[in-house]
Amino acid sequence: MKKLPTGLQVFEHIRTSGAVYVDKTDMIYNIVSDARRQFFISRPRRFGKTLLCWTLNALFSGRKELFEGLAIAKTDWAWERYPVVHLDMSRVTTDEGVVDVRRSLVFQMKCIAGEHEISLDNEMGAGEMLTKIIIEVSQKHGKPTVLIIDEYDKPFLDFYNKPPMAEEIRGIMRSCYSQLKANESHLRFLFMTGISKFTKAGVFSTLNNLNDLSLEEDYGALLGYTEEELTGYFSEHLEVAAKKQNMPVAELVEKVRAFYNGYCFDGEQKVYCPFSVLSFLQSRQFLNFWIHSGGAKVIADYMKDRSLTVEQFRGMQVSRDFASSPGEIETASPQSFFYQAGYLTLREGISDDFSLDYPNIEVLNSMSELVCKNMVQPGNDFVDLRSPLLIALCDKDTELLIETLNRLLSGIPYNDYTDAAKQGMQQKNLKITTQEWLYRSTILAFLRGCGVLAFGEMHNSQGRSDMLVIHKNIPWIIEIKVAKDDDSAAKAQEAMKQINDRQYDAPYQNAKKVAIAIDDKARQIEEWIVL
Most confident of 246-250, 369-373, 416-420: 246-250
| Residue 299 predicted with pLDDT over 90 | no
Q: Residue type at 260?
A: Y
DSSP structural state of residue 272: B
Chain segment 10-34, per-residue pLDDT in tens: 999 999 999 999 999 999 999 999 9
| Residue 307 predicted with pLDDT over 60 | yes
Higher pLDDT, 97 or 459: 97
Higher pLDDT, 195 or 55: 55
Give the whole-number percent of the chain exceeding pLDDT 70. 91
| Mean pLDDT, range 403-430, rounded to an integer | 73
Q: Which of 324, 310, 320, 313 is nearest to 357 (CA)?
A: 313
| Residue 92 predicted with pLDDT over 90 | yes
* 377 contacts 413 by C-beta, under 8 angstroms: yes
φ/ψ bin of 429: left (φ > 0), alpha (ψ from -120 to 50), beta (otherwise): left
Distances in Å between the alpha carbon of 415 and those of 233, 422, 438?
50, 12, 10
Q: What pLDDT is attached to residue 278?
A: 97
Q: What pLDDT is attached to residue 410?
A: 84
Q: Which of 261, 264, 259, 267 is nearest to 229 (CA)?
A: 261
Q: What pLDDT is attached to residue 377?
A: 59
Q: What pLDDT is attached to residue 54?
A: 98
Q: What pLDDT is attached to residue 210?
A: 84
| Rounded Cα–Cα distance for residues 26 and 530 (Å) | 57
pTM assigned to the model = 0.90
State the Cα angle at 433 between 430 and 434, rounded to 5°.
Answer: 90
Distances in Å between the alpha carbon of 120 and those of 113, 126, 131, 187?
7, 10, 11, 20
Structure confidence at residue 360 as a pLDDT band (50, 70, 90): very high
| Mean pLDDT, range 250-258, rounded to an integer | 97
* 137 contacts 83 by C-beta, under 8 angstroms: yes
Burial class (CB in 10 A: 0-12, 13-18, 19+), 342: buried
| Residue 103 predicted with pLDDT over 60 | yes
Residues 6+ apart with CB under 8 A from 462: 501, 502, 503, 504
* 323 contacts 215 by C-beta, under 8 angstroms: yes
* 14 contacts 5 by C-beta, under 8 angstroms: yes
Q: What pLDDT is attached to residue 130?
A: 94
| Rounded Cα–Cα distance for residues 517 and 439 (Å) | 11
Structure confidence at residue 89 as a pLDDT band (50, 70, 90): very high
Q: What pLDDT is attached to residue 357?
A: 94
Structure confidence at residue 202 as a pLDDT band (50, 70, 90): low
Q: What pLDDT is attached to residue 220?
A: 95
Chain segment 329-346, per-residue pLDDT in tens: 667 788 888 888 888 999
What mean pLDDT, rounded, does the chain reach? 89
DSSP structural state of residue 359: S
| Mean pLDDT, range 308-319, rounded to an integer | 86
* 389 contacts 447 by C-beta, under 8 angstroms: yes
Structure confidence at residue 306 as a pLDDT band (50, 70, 90): confident
| Rounded Cα–Cα distance for residues 432 and 430 (Å) | 6
| Rounded Cα–Cα distance for residues 440 and 430 (Å) | 13
Q: Which of 42, 34, 37 is nearest to 147 (CA)?
A: 37
Distances in Å between the alpha carbon of 30 and those of 37, 194, 366, 513?
11, 20, 36, 55
* 128 contacts 152 by C-beta, under 8 angstroms: no
Burial 255-291 (b: 16+ CB within 10 A, else e): bbbebbbbbbbbbeebbbbbbbbbbbbeeeebebbbb
Distances in Å between the alpha carbon of 178 and those of 110, 168, 252?
19, 15, 49
Output phi, psi for 527, to 5 deg. -140, 145
Q: What pLDDT is attached to residue 341?
A: 81
| Rounded Cα–Cα distance for residues 140 and 118 (Å) | 9
Burial class (CB in 10 A: 0-12, 13-18, 19+), 111: exposed
| Residue 500 predicted with pLDDT over 90 | yes
DSSP structural state of residue 456: E
Higher pLDDT, 323 or 127: 127
| Rounded Cα–Cα distance for residues 448 and 369 (Å) | 7
Q: Among 40-54, 91-105, 461-475, where is mean pLDDT lowest?
A: 461-475
Q: Pairing relation of β-strands 145-150 and 84-88?
A: parallel
Domains of the chain in sequence order: 11-219 (3.40.50), 227-287 (no CATH), 378-412+452-530 (no CATH)
Structure confidence at residue 203 as a pLDDT band (50, 70, 90): low
